[in-house]
Amino acid sequence: MRLLLGVLVVGAALACSVGPRPDKIQPAREPAGATIELQLRTGRPRHIVTGELLAVQDSGLLLRDTASILLVPDRAMRNGTLLARGVGVTFAGRPAGAIRERLRLLSRYPGGVSADLLSRLLVAYGRDSVETVH
């Protein structure tokens, strides 16, 4: 019993000290989602979209750039890099698995964006609709 208790105490102590601290991760200190840079699969070389990661959806990423709210479908992504201090996330092609989950957690709305919330965001940013990137 003492051995089990000792293992639990040591495990709990290690769990508290492993990994980055929240004060070192930019999205944890600010209300906005992390900034993400995506290189797209277009005919143009190095077509890049950069913006705040609002949410991860089933079919792509919802971003806010300086001019609009964008939906970047998975099929349109060549690669991506999360541009947040204290966090390193890069991916090639469609983000999947653990990378997709990490992006979701670092987005402004990790629980997703409902239709009501999306309409309020569009009004707040002076937009009529979401622009889908091809």
Q: Which of 83, 97, 100, 105 is nearest to 38 (CA)?
A: 83
What's 29's DSSP letter?
H
Structural domain contains residue 90: yes
Structural domain contains residue 53: yes
Asked whether the beta carbons of 123 and 71 are under 8 A apart, the reply is no
Structural domain contains residue 108: yes
Mean pLDDT of 14-21: 51
Number of domains in the chain: 1
- In 10 A of CB 60, how many CB atoms? 21
66 — pLDDT class (breaks 50, 70, 90): confident
Structural domain contains residue 69: yes
Whether the full predicted model's pTM is greater than 0.85, yes or no, is no
Structural domain contains residue 79: yes
Structural domain contains residue 12: no
Structural domain contains residue 25: no
Please give the pLDDT value at position 83: 84
CATH number of the CATH domain containing 49: 2.30.30
Mean pLDDT of 34-57: 88
Expressed as residue numbers, the domain containing 77 is 31-127
